[in-house]
Amino acid sequence: MREDQKSSPFEQLITLLYDAVLEGDFSPFQELLKQSLGASAAGLTIDHVDPQSSHLLWHGLPLDCVADYSARYFLLDPWRAANERAPVGEPQVSDQLVDRRTFERSEFGGSFCPRYGVIDFLDILLERSEQQRVVLGATFTEAPRDPSANIELLRRLAPHVQRAVKLFQRMVVTQARVRTLEEAVAICGTGLALLDHRGAVLFQSREAQRCLQAQDGLSLDTKGYLCPGREVGHGLASLQKGTPGIVRIRRPSGRASYLLIFAPAGPRSRLLLEDIPWAIVYIIDPEREMPDLGDLLSTAFGLTRTEAKVAIAIASGHSAREVAEQHKVTHATVRTQLLAIYSKTGVSRQSALARLIHNLDLSLPFKSP
């Protein structure tokens, strides 16, 4: 006999509940809960005062029923209104929440419930706070087989569902933050990759992808490891000694070598798991073309279009005389333009101007050629 056949319905519910947290899908848990209660529908309601911000994680409710409830009956539901005053952690049946006659005279009881065949309701308030209200409940289109057993089941489930909802919401927030950070890093102008302790690439920014796809000294092997392995190994070995690693990668094309800087990826975990970032690798390509910063320099510092071009040329390593030749103006004209650039940007040397522009360059979103 299979293990899941040996476990009790309650144990199966707990297993499905925590599976739902990991998978983000409460449907299997809700279906088993519905069957266990003999209900027509069951699930979670997480609401934040208004129907637009409420989440009906229910199984068994027709889509038109959910839409109708959210659009019209959310604020007219006397069960919901009474439930806001119910004690947390104590199951409530419909007649406990609202007197039957009062309920049937309400628009919700006289119109919505008959339309969808709902004759009874059972729920338990799991959380009531300024931020949200969380309810686990079930609706019935037939009289419940064993109301006492249903109440006891909800009472036993309550602490587990409370923990599961908190874990689920925390995971949703964490995942949203991670996706936002990944996107921010992905579009950054600096090449960046995250490696595990063996050198496998877990994440790469778009600039890092460009360098790797060029197959010009840097690449990934068939198992996803950053190559060349020997140089990468030296960088990781430096981290194990407690110092950042700096490695040069020669390029077969003869272009300027890549510079790889290895830095620790946060606090070390005792568990060297494959998916835990262990090292951050900054990939610097000396020959990466600087994007057009003219509009940014004009907006941020009030430079004219010509001044912006001169500033970018100086930051790219050209001398004032070379810039004069390129623009077909006198050296004195470029010197005058530089003085205006220094005044507007707040720097006083060419080296400081170059540093300012390169910092802007590295912070700009990466744009595919």
Query: Are residues 157 and 10 part of one domain?
Result: yes
Query: Are residues 298 and 274 part of one domain?
Result: no
Q: Which of 258, 284, 310 is at the close of a domain?
A: 284
Query: Are residues 340 and 203 part of one domain?
Result: no
Q: In CATH, what number is assigned to the domain containing residue 19?
A: 3.30.450.80
Mean predicted lDDT score pLDDT of the chain: 85
The boundaries of the domain holding residue 198 are 188-284
Beta bridge partners of 219: 227
Considering the domain boundaries, does residue 183 fall inside one?
no
Query: Are residues 252 and 301 part of one domain?
Result: no
The Cα–Cα gap between 105 and 170 comes to 41
pLDDT in tens, 271-318: 555 678 889 999 988 887 766 678 888 888 999 999 999 998 888 788
Split into its structural domains, the chain has a count of: 3
Q: Which of 254, 284, 314 is at the close of a domain?
A: 284
Q: Is the pLDDT of residue 256 over 70?
A: yes
Query: Are residues 115 and 221 part of one domain?
Result: no
- In the chain, what percentage of residues exceed pLDDT 70? 90
Q: In CATH, what number is assigned to the domain containing residue 348?
A: 1.10.10.10
pLDDT of residue 363: 56
Considering the domain boundaries, does residue 289 fall inside one?
no
Closest to 281 in 3D by CA, of 357, 241, 363, 225: 225
Residue 119 near residue 113, CB atoms below 8 Å: yes
Considering the domain boundaries, does residue 97 fall inside one?
yes
Q: Which of 138, 156, 177 is at the close of a domain?
A: 177
Q: Taking residues 7-23, report their average pLDDT.
A: 91
Considering the domain boundaries, does residue 103 fall inside one?
yes
